[in-house]
Amino acid sequence: MTDPFSLGRDILAALATPLQNQRLIEVDAAAEGLVVERFRGREEVCGEYTFTIDCFITGSDRRDEDIGDVLNGQPMTLSLRCPDGGWRRWHGVCVDSYQYRDMDGLPRCELVLGSWSFWLEERLNSEIFPQCSAQDVIERIIGEYPEAAVRFDLMAPLPQRPMITQYRENQWAFCQRLMTEYGLAWRFEHRQDGQEDAKDGGPPVTLVVFDQHACLPEGPSLDFHNDRSEESRPSVTRFTDGSRLTPNAVQVASWHSSKVRTVTGRAEATDPDGLPVREIYWHRQDARFDSAEQAERTAGHHLDALRVLQRVHRGESRVRTLATGEAFTLSGHPRCDEGPYVALVLEHAAVNNLGHAGEQLGDDTLKAGQYRNAFLAIPATTPIAPVPRPKPEVGGPLLARVVGHPGDAVTSSRDHQVRIQYTWQRGDA
């Protein structure tokens, strides 16, 4: 009688041969004997990056144990071989895993690679930060995690605030909210071979926070070539140009009880003649702005966030070095200029070159040894700003104590406000 799992054992034996130096895709993880079949991934500016990696388990010592006990929460690196022989690498943490056997009895696993923000999301906190800027708070929070690193690329220092409040937010959601309030964009920068920090053991992944005036890093110079049959040519095969109608004016306001007036700010953008004014009005909480200049900066951040997708380009390519947040140029397109452009969203898909073993497995999308990506780009001259995120809301009554200066009578403000201290707040009343 024919063994139904004989084909699976033959494929597994072929995959276990030491040919990793010839593979298109490799994974460096805490468990040995993992051979990548394919991966899919997504990266975003002002967002996260996530890669789903399908692997075969060839190590005999790993086939009968739960791979999640070994990999979950551990560092992991996904590597994609480039045409010049180098590697494009994505570093992170194994945030999830799933182990199973297919119809041929082959032991497989699905791994999810994410950023170190996974650890920040695990901690819920409430805290008040007095007399500091958003940069001070973010650096303090991220500095508590050894595997995390942050770098600020700002053309102007952030203003100090008398009080920044975190209430029942996880650490990563709180950092994101602070960045969006000040119009700061962010991207994750992965350490690549040959970089200076790769020699001295720098952090594998760095969160880069930048403002609208920061210079974007230079990316590759790409060629437009729509012949999809030339697999070895790393070119852009599709690039479209689109536009949409967005608001062209934002006005913000905040009542300042101590000044007995409303502090307002306004930002406008020029549009082609004949289009009406499309204004957005936001009223912020009491005493949100200390001056009209601060209100105008906030209005400008909101307007930039609303207009970032006014002109968008959707494309597809075989370029393995394309990265989000980097400025690239494009040549050879019949209608679009050379740019520069910057990719905001990048989706990856690749299938490993597993030889005869991979051919027996079959694939309905990409062939063995192929890589594709799809991206969303904007002109590099467009200011990049995230959409502001709302503050968390209180779900019910809270217990607090009315406080004031020692020896002074407790009085209210002009608008009948008193100073309080919550039970979870640090410090003495």
Mean pLDDT of all residues in 298-304: 92
**What CA–CA distance (Å, rounded) separates 67 from 353?**
24
User: What is the structure's pLDDT at 380?
Assistant: 94
Mean pLDDT of all residues in 50-62: 83
On the question of pLDDT at 272 being above 80, the answer is: no
If one compares 114 and 357, the residue with the highest pLDDT of the two is 114
CB 95 within 8 A of CB 72: yes
Q: Residue 303 — pLDDT band, cuts 50, 70, 90?
A: very high
What are φ and ψ of residue 136, in 5° steps? -60, -45
If one compares 356 and 226, the residue with the highest pLDDT of the two is 226
User: What is the structure's pLDDT at 229?
Assistant: 60
If one compares 153 and 30, the residue with the highest pLDDT of the two is 153
> What is the location of CATH 3.30.1920 in the chain?
245-307
User: What is the structure's pLDDT at 147?
Assistant: 92
Instruction: Choose the weakest-confidence range: 3-17, 48-62, 217-231, 310-324.
Output: 3-17
**What CA–CA distance (Å, rounded) separates 174 from 135?**
12
If one compares 358 and 416, the residue with the highest pLDDT of the two is 416
User: What is the structure's pLDDT at 414?
Assistant: 78
> What is the location of CATH 3.55.50.10 in the chain?
119-239+323-347
Helix (H, G, I), strand (E, B) or coil at 20: helix
Mean pLDDT of all residues in 42-50: 97
CB 366 within 8 A of CB 318: no
The continuous run of DSSP H or E covering 207 comes out as: strand 205-210
Instruction: Choose the weakest-confidence range: 79-83, 268-272, 350-354.
Output: 268-272
The continuous run of DSSP H or E covering 119 comes out as: helix 117-121
Q: What is the pLDDT of residues 172-210, one digit of tens each?
A: 999 999 999 999 999 999 999 866 555 556 799 999 999
On the question of pLDDT at 61 being above 60, the answer is: no
Mean pLDDT of all residues in 210-228: 88
Which of 3.55.50.10, 1.10.357.10, 3.20.20.70, 3.40.50.800 is the CATH number of 119-239+323-347?
3.55.50.10
Helix (H, G, I), strand (E, B) or coil at 190: strand
User: What is the structure's pLDDT at 419?
Assistant: 87
pTM for the model stands at 0.89
Which of 1.10.3470, 3.30.1920, 2.40.160, 1.20.1250 is the CATH number of 245-307?
3.30.1920
User: What is the structure's pLDDT at 2?
Assistant: 45
User: What is the structure's pLDDT at 413?
Assistant: 80
On the question of pLDDT at 7 being above 60, the answer is: no
CB 127 within 8 A of CB 166: yes
Burial of residue 266, with CB atoms counted within 10 A of its CB: 0-12 exposed, 13-18 middle, 19 or more buried: middle
Q: What is the pLDDT of residues 361-390, one digit of tens each?
A: 545 567 888 999 999 999 999 999 999 898
**What CA–CA distance (Å, rounded) separates 92 from 187?**
14
On the question of pLDDT at 8 being above 70, the answer is: no
Please give the biggest Cα pair distance in the chain.
94
Q: Does domain 6-115+349-369 have CATH number 2.40.10?
A: yes
The one-character DSSP state at 417 is -
Token reading at 69:
């006990």
> What is the location of CATH 2.40.10 in the chain?
6-115+349-369
Cis amide leading into 340 (omega within 30): yes
Token reading at 30:
């805490």
**Average per-residue pLDDT for the chain:** 86
User: What is the structure's pLDDT at 1?
Assistant: 43
User: What is the structure's pLDDT at 63?
Assistant: 55
Mean pLDDT of all residues in 149-165: 92
The one-character DSSP state at 214 is S
**What CA–CA distance (Å, rounded) separates 269 from 378?**
17
User: What is the structure's pLDDT at 122?
Assistant: 94
